[in-house]
Amino acid sequence: MSPLLEAFGGALALIASGDRALLQIVLLSLGVSLAAVVLATLAGLPLGAAVAVARFPGRQAVIVLMNALMGLPPVVVGLVVYLLLSRAGPLGSLGLLFTPPAMVIAQTLLIFPIIAALARQGVEDAWVEYEEQLRSLGAHGIGAALTLVWDIRYSLFTAVLAGMGRALAEVGAVMIVGGNIDGVTRVMTTSIALETSKGDLPLALSLGIVLIALVLALNAAAHMVKEAARRKYG
Amino acid sequence: MSAILPLRMTDVSFAAGGRTIIDRVSFDLSAGPSTIVLGANGAGKSVLMRLMHGLLAPSAGKVEWLGDNASRARRLQAMVFQRPVMLRRSVLANITYALGLADVPARDLDRLAFEALEEVGLATLATRPARVLSGGEQQRLALARAWALHPEVLFLDEPTASLDPAATREIETIIKAFDASGTKVILVTHSLGQARRLGDEVLFVHEGCVAELTPTDRFFSQPASAEAAAFIKGETPWI
């Protein structure tokens, strides 16, 4: 039997057995990434909407920066957060390094530009369509931006989902600031890297399968919500 | 009675991208007669309307509301666009949203919105999502949204340009109701028939300038400007 098939069989058996260590890793992954998505959405959606609607000097530069930061390398984000949180760093006294909160911070910084940039694009497209009507009705500024965000809420789902996918899939940032400590900061992607290098391919592959299944399920759910909304609200 | 009319345009110009679209236009519009802004495509009718409504700021000149209630000019105007823009919410909520922006007390929102829907014959669709309505229905909803605001001045930018004849008739009936209720109707169109049906006076726009402002009857029987005469002849070559 080929090693890949062998590993695949082992992976399915491990998933079916409901292995506790596996479950713990999956839950921590989900917890860290969901927390990061919530925080990045709370900050990114309003920022994206504001940049879409507001006109100020340097706006084009801000848009370019936001778009560029979508491709931020996770290891660089991890390194910066590491320097901030390390004993000698400005936030070292908080003692957060190598804890799940540090991983949430790093992932929040990583996906915040993704959500902000995609929200900016979506809100701006809607603004082009609605601007005259909304201004005629007397809506402006934050009120107008909130109206747009609410109106395209199902499209913004995609932005949030892109952030979630990125957070779940990245390994560099959580590896550096989390340290991949067994039972404490070990998540799916860091375990896959570790187990692969140790040669425990079934565990690595089973984690990979769970990861892909999770991302698939998330996207399928979001797609269904969006389609239902499109049929309902046009 | 407090009012925002008359509207005075003084040497108003508007340029964009190095091109002059409206060129030193001056006229007064007073309460009472419905005004048709008539002209060929590209004459600058829609831009002129947006300047009047305040959606565009003039490059030069002044747009003034001369009535004693001019400070509330913003609130007392409404505009209906060629393509109605509806929010992704119910028919009723699209109206209550506009009323909310106009500082109508929350307890009156639903009642006023329903009255407006009944006026345009959409009351039975109140709970439907606005965006799934037909084009004609959406335009009636846009008119209901304006109706609920009880504007002193209603701007309409080719409101029937993308509608079939039946829907056009419905829209024109509602516009007449606005006129009958005392709202000043200002309507952009390039349709001579619509101008005759709905207009008391015609503001004829030609290449960014106002060629004339004349009562409708006189405009069609003996236009004062050569441009208007040519336009009428061009649109109705069988006369």
Interchain CB distance below 8 Å, B131 and A233: yes
pLDDT band per the 50, 70, 90 thresholds, residue A227 = confident
- The contacts of residue A51 (CB under 8 Å, 6+ apart) are A59, A62, A63, A66, A116, A120
Task: Kindly tell me if the per-residue pLDDT of B137 is higher than 80.
Answer: yes
> For B75, which of A133, A138, A143 is closest by C-beta distance?
A138
B50 touches chain A (CB under 8 A): yes
What is the mean pLDDT of the segment spanning A17-33? 90
A26's tokens: 């999956």
Closest residue on chain A to B132 (Cα): A234
**Chain B residues near residue A136 by CB distance under 8 angstroms:** 53, 55, 77-79, 81
pLDDT beyond 90 at B136: yes
Residue pair B63/B12 in contact (Cβ under 8 Å)? The answer is yes
In the predicted structure, residue B239 carries a pLDDT above the cut 60: no
Share of chain A above pLDDT 90, in %: 63
Residue length of chain A: 234
Fill in the amino acid letter for B163.
L
B15 neighbors B179 (Cβ within 8 angstroms): no
Phi and psi torsions of B42, nearest 5°: 80, 5
What tokens does A160 get? Answer: 């949030």
Q: CA dihedral defined by A115, A119, A122, A123, rounded to 10 degrees?
A: 180
pLDDT digits (tens, 9 = 90+) for A161-190: 889 999 999 999 999 999 999 989 999 999
Chain A residues with beta carbon closer than 8 angstroms to that of B89: 151, 233
Q: Which of A132, A135, A151 sits opposite B88 (nearest CB)?
A: A151
Peptide bond just before B6 cis, omega within 30 deg: yes
pLDDT of residue B70: 87
Residues A193 and A195: their CA atoms lie apart, in Å, by: 6
How far apart CA A131 and CA A117 sit, in angstroms, is 20
CA–CA distance, A225 with A71 (Å, rounded to integer): 27
Neighbours of A26 (CB within 10 A): 20
**What percent of chain B shows pLDDT beyond 70?**
97
pLDDT(A3) > 80: no
Q: Compute the average pLDDT of residues B213-226.
A: 91
The answer to whether B98 contacts A137, with C-beta atoms less than 8 Å apart, is: yes
Q: Is the pLDDT of residue B237 over 70?
A: no
Cross-chain Cβ contact A129/B85 below 8 Å: yes
- How many A×B Cβ pairs under 8 Å? 47
Confidence class for position A4, pLDDT limits 50, 70, 90: confident
Closest CA to A75 of A104, A98, A106: A106
Question: What DSSP letter does each residue of A30-64 carry, written as one string?
Answer: HHHHHHHHHHHHHHHHHHHHHHHH---TTHHHHHH
Instruction: Find the helix or strand (DSSP H, E) in which B219 lies.
Output: helix B216-221
Lowest mean pLDDT among B1-10, B53-62, B93-102, B159-168: B1-10
Q: What is the pLDDT of residue A226?
A: 84
Spell out the residues 6+ positions from residue A47 whose beta carbon is closer than 8 angstroms to its own. A116, A119, A120
Mean of pLDDT over chain B: 93
3-state secondary structure of B214: strand
**What's the CA gap between A25 and A51, in Å, rounded?**
38
Task: State phi, psi for A4 to the nearest 5 degrees.
Answer: -65, -45
Average pLDDT of the segment spanning B212-236: 88
* Residue scoring higher pLDDT (A14 or B213): B213
Question: What mean pLDDT is predicted for residues B228-234?
Answer: 88
Looking at residues B62-68, what average pLDDT do you find? 93
pTM score, whole prediction: 0.83
Of A52, A60, A69, A88, nearest to A163 (Cα)? A69
Q: Is the pLDDT of residue B52 over 60?
A: yes
pLDDT one-digit tens code per residue, A73-127: 999 999 999 999 998 889 989 989 999 999 999 999 999 999 999 999 999 999 9
**Distance linking the first and last C-alpha atoms of chain B:** 45
Give the residue-averaged pLDDT of A206-212: 88
* pLDDT score for B217: 93
**Predicted local confidence at residue B2, as pLDDT:** 66
